[in-house]
Structure 1
Amino acid sequence: MDLLAYADEWRASWNAHDLERLLQRFDDSVVFKSPAAAKLVPGSSGTVIGKTALRAYWSEGLRLIPNLHFEVLAVYEGVDCMTINFVNQDGREANEVLIFHRAMIVQGFGTYRIDPSRMASI
């Protein structure tokens, strides 16, 4: 799989708010974990299971953030996985880590940069 092409398609799909296009590469039994899901999906503890639940979670996110827009900063290659480093419409840096099985995404993680001002307390 061409990971740079996938990252560009990922960005274009999000920026078009086209969830069906975005979800094409996600397995029906995908597991996605994100701190944002913990806030938007009651009782999930941040874990969304299945493509139908992922669609519902992301639909709610788009409803709440109608100006959602991502710009890809970097793409990282791993073994059966990739990380897309991006910045959102508010200038907040984040990553989406995607785990593949036979070219389908079976697991994903949304990760968000911690405010650097909080780093001094560590």
Structure 2
Amino acid sequence: MSVPDPSEFSAAWVSAWNAHDLDAVLAHFHDDVVFTSPLAARLVPDSGGVLRGKEALRRYWTEGLRLLPDLHLTVERVYAGVTALVITYRNQAGGVVDEVLVFADGLVVEGHGTYLVEP
């Protein structure tokens, strides 16, 4: 399988986030990762919501944790594909988010933060 064990990965991922341990979170990501998020478009306006490379991701998430010191995630579901995992979680504000993570050689090479849209 091209993705890591879904249960183990999601448990380590949420544990790192809830500890606000960016080094542990970023250990799952390739140096040349591409990550998209509408929140990144707001926090890093010149990105257009597209972050390229682990250091850009570190800067974005460092700012996010600064602005959300009470950040806490609860995993609700995990979906596994051939090369991707989708982690559905609820954040500290009750918002529902899907993190779509595409893997190569055990590391995330592409990620997408997607947010529930109410009709």
TM-score, normalised to structure 1, is: 0.93
Residues 1:69 and 2:72 aligned together: yes
Counterpart among 61, 64, 67 of residue 58 in structure 1 = 61
Highest relative contact order (Cα 8 Å, sep 6+), 1 or 2?
2
Shift of 1:12: 0.4
Alignment partner of 2:40: what SS? Answer: helix
User: Once the 2 structures are TM-superposed, how far is the Cα of residue 104 of structure 1 from its aligned partner?
Assistant: 0.9
The CA distance in 2 between the partners of 1:42 and 1:94, in whole Å, is: 21
Percent sequence identity is 48
Q: Could you tell me how far apart the structure 1 residues matched to 2:90 and 2:28 are?
A: 22
2:35 maps to what in 1? 32
1:98 to 2:104 alignment: no
Q: Which has the higher Rg, Structure 1 or Structure 2? A: 1
1:2 to partner: Cα distance: 1.1
The Cα RMSD (Å) is: 0.6
Q: What is the aligned partner in structure 1 of residue 24 from structure 2?
A: 21
Partner Cα distance (1:47, 1:100) in 2: 18
Give the residue type in structure 1 aligned to 2:96: E
Provide runs of 4+ in structure 1 moved above 6 Å.
Answer: none
